Amino acid sequence: MTSETKTLSGRQAVLEGMPDHPALKAILAWNADALTDANFAYGELTLTIDPEAIRAACSALQAAGYNFFEDMTAIDWFPTSPRFQLSYHILSHKLLDRIRLRVMLGEADPTVDSITPVWPGANFFEREVFDLFGIRFDEHPDLRRIMMPDDWKGHPLRKDYPVEGYR
Amino acid sequence: MSENPGAPVLELPASENSVERRMVLNMGPQHPATHGVLRLVVEIEGEIIVSLRPEIGYLHTGIEKTCEAKFYQQVVPLTDRINYLDPLSNNLCYCLAVEKLLGLEIPERAQWIRVLFTELSRLNSHLIWLGTHAMDIGALTVFLYTFREREEILRIFEAVAGQRMMTSYFRIGGLAMEPPLDLFDRIQAFINTFPEKIDEYSNLLTGNPIFINRLKGTGYLSAADAIAFGVTGPPLRASGVDIDLRRDMPYSSYEKFQFKVPTSTVGDNWARYEVRLVEMRESTKIIQQALDGMPGGPVKADAPKIVLPDREKMKTQMEALIHHFKIVTEGFDVPAGEVYQAIECGHGQMGYHIVSDGTAKPYRVHMRYPSFATLQALETMVKGGLIADLVAVIGSIDIVLGEIDR
């Protein structure tokens, strides 16, 4: 579909290949060390952010014009390590550009800062990830199960949870 | 338009024991005005809403998990069931995402037919919204009128896909098949009379004093709140944010169509009603343009390892038969990668996030559906208002529980 065939992988390649990208500039100006990896594929820019810094990264991007939180979800890479990947999709209404922030989390007690202070709309999305993946979000205002019943055991979207459930 | 953009927020009676007089009211999940199985826990003080908490998940079927166990082409029928009022937008968004991963070039005719049917699907979605919204408020007649037109749209879907609601008409690499010969004439006949039908709805509602009083000045949502809560589509545009992905980040050759994106700065229920009504007229224009300029050519991409061959070829050519057998039994491998594809569906911005690990089954499919995000803004819209207005607001934000719970 897309005519964009350029692919850049690795932090260095992206920094050299697209030095004028507003999101990249905003992240570098804020904290270059928090950007651990980057790649550009299918016309989409992915920035891997240090898990400790995700909320501050979102604030920096929001200030740079990426005003709209679109989506977030998790991916379970079981059994590789780090096991969980969080993908945030953020859109700029002004620049009409979308970027993806990626955060990698380990298997033991996966916890990350909630971004609801930056975008309250992340509330349900984070609850969904908490419910279906068992990833906790610090300072989330209402971290409860959202899809499954409150007394449900396990997290259905994890890869070690059978598709048919436990019966 | 009302002079004051803000809804008249009622003052809570200031007294020391006001908290004691509060009552928690459970609305739903079986309630005729919640459009499905939405449960709202509403805290009220007299008639005034103090807080509201949506409890969802009653329709959760685990579609995202099911997708991981299916071949890429087997996911298409699952997508219909998510937003069952706008089935072709679901199909389109999923197919576009997978095609992005595959790097498939879709023939122009297929892209135009996709636009044509997505717009019909949008009309379908808006017609149901208008009918049920008016019915919630007490204007029952409109429901019968909109379902009359919806019936014709469903018959068109049936003619092209064999199914009225669960169409699965768009496939990875194009369309399921060429539409029947007289179908475009039929759509033309429908489009010729449809603007008059919109006038008819408008005559029933726009001047109706009860409808006006219920909608004007209620359910106010500011642009800042709409963006903060991730609200998209008509509710966002009715709050004054001029964004429509069809125009701003075009896909499936939407850039070749001329249409206006209606907006309003008022942000109340009435503004959302007006925006959607104009959107229906604009969709009619897009369909007309698609019919007028419909290009010729194939409706499937030239990718024998991905797109099922025609039945005729299957019976005469050995390669076609082998490909058919391989695709059906083993699927096709999709290169490893991660893509996000967003489109503008009837309710707002829909997004499919697909992660492939290089096999024939998606590693992860995540759907971002507009109603899921929009529901978060509900409390802001009704807080401080009368409980009777809650029903009007639910109708006005146009939610479908199928896409909220997935």
Q: Give the tens place of pLDDT for each residue, A80-113.
A: 888 999 999 999 988 888 999 999 998 888 899 9
Q: Is residue B57 part of a domain?
A: no
Torsion of CA B87, B93, B95, B99, to 10 degrees: 170
pLDDT at position A1 over 70: no
Specify the pLDDT at position A74. Answer: 92
Pairing of strands A136-138, A111-113: parallel
Cis peptide leading into residue A82 (ω within 30°):
yes
Banded model confidence at residue A11, pLDDT cuts 50, 70, 90: confident
- Share of residues in chain B with pLDDT > 90 (%): 41
Distances (CA, A) of A147 to A116, B41, B318, B353, B399: 19, 16, 48, 19, 17
- At residue B1, the pLDDT reads 34
Closest by CA to B270, choosing from B199, B347, B206, B204, is B206
For residue B13, tell me if it sits in a domain.
no
Pairing relation of β-strands B39-45 and A44-49? Answer: unpaired
Q: At what angle do helices B183-205 and B108-137 cross, to 10 degrees?
A: 30
Is pLDDT of B67 > 70? yes
- Checking if the pLDDT of B261 tops 50, the result is yes
What pLDDT, in 10s, does the model give residues B24-61? 888 878 777 667 788 889 998 888 888 899 988 888 88
- Provide the shortest C-alpha distance from residue B155 to chain A (in Å): 30
The average pLDDT across B96-120 equals 91
The answer to whether residue A93 is domain-embedded is yes
Residues from A in contact with B at Cβ < 8 Å: 1-2, 5, 41-42, 44, 46, 67-71, 73, 75-76, 87, 89, 91, 93, 96, 98, 100, 119-125, 132, 145-149, 156-157, 161, 163
The pLDDT of residue B5: 46
Quote the DSSP letter at residue B42: E
Residue A135 lies in a domain: no
Using the predicted structure, report yes or no on whether residue B350 has a pLDDT greater than 50.
yes
Query: Which CATH number is B162's domain given?
Result: 1.10.645.10
pLDDT band at B3 (very low <50, low <70, confident <90, very high): very low
Query: Does residue B35 lie in a domain region?
Result: no
Query: How far apart (Å, rounded) are the C-alpha atoms in residues A113 and A52?
Result: 7
- Whole-number Å distance between alpha carbons of B124 and B199: 17
**Total domains, chain A:** 1
Region A140-165: what's the mean pLDDT? Answer: 88
Would you say residue A21 lies in a domain? yes
Q: Is A39 among the domain residues?
A: yes
Whether B2 has a pLDDT exceeding 50, the answer reads no
* pLDDT score of B189: 93
* Res B13 pLDDT > 80: no
Average pLDDT, chain A: 86
pLDDT score for B157: 92
Q: What is the mean pLDDT of residues B86-111?
A: 91
ipTM of this predicted complex?
0.89
Q: How far apart are CA B350 and CA A70, in angstroms?
A: 9
Q: Report if residue A107 sits inside a domain.
A: yes
* Confidence class for position A4, pLDDT limits 50, 70, 90: low
The residue in chain A having the minimum alpha-carbon distance to the alpha carbon of residue B366 is A73
Half-sphere exposure of A69 (CA within 13 A, CB side): 30
Question: How close, in Å, is residue B350 to chain A by CA atoms?
Answer: 9
Considering only CB atoms, which chain A residues are within 8 Å of B350? Answer: none
Residue of A71, A123, A147 with shortest CB distance to B57: A147
The pLDDT-based confidence of B356 (bands split at 50, 70, 90) is very high
Looking at every residue in chain B, the average pLDDT score rounds to 88
Q: What is the pLDDT of residue A30?
A: 84
From chain B, pick out residues whose CB is under 8 angstroms from the CB of A122: 230
CATH number for the domain spanning A84: value is 3.30.460.80
Residue B53 lies in a domain: no
Question: Closest-CA residue in chain B for A142?
Answer: B53
Find the domain containing A12 and state its range.
8-112
DSSP string, B104-168: PPPPHHHHHHHHHHHHHHHHHHHHHHHHHHHHHHT-HHHHHHHHHHHHHHHHHHHHHHS-SS---
Tell me how close the Cα of A2 comes to any Cα of chain B, in angstroms: 6
In this complex, the residue of A100, A148, A161 whose CB is nearest that of residue B57 is: A148
> Domain count of chain B?
1
The pLDDT of residue B12 is: 55
Q: Does residue B25 sit within a domain?
A: no
Q: Which amino acid is at B19?
A: V
Which stretches does DSSP call E strand in chain A? 8-9, 35-41, 44-49, 68-76, 84-92, 97-105, 111-113, 136-138
For residue B307, the enclosing domain spans: 63-405
Q: How far, in Å, CA of A54 to CA of A88, rounded?
A: 10
CA B338 to chain centroid: 24
CB of B379 within 8 A of CB of B198? no
pLDDT in tens, B138-158: 888 888 999 999 999 999 999
The answer on pLDDT for A78 being more than 90 is: no
Distance CA B216, CA B396 (A): 12
Instruction: Summarize the confidence of residues B204-225 as an average pLDDT.
Output: 88
Token code pair at residue B388? 């009777």
Torsion of CA B365, B366, B371, B376, to 10 degrees: 160
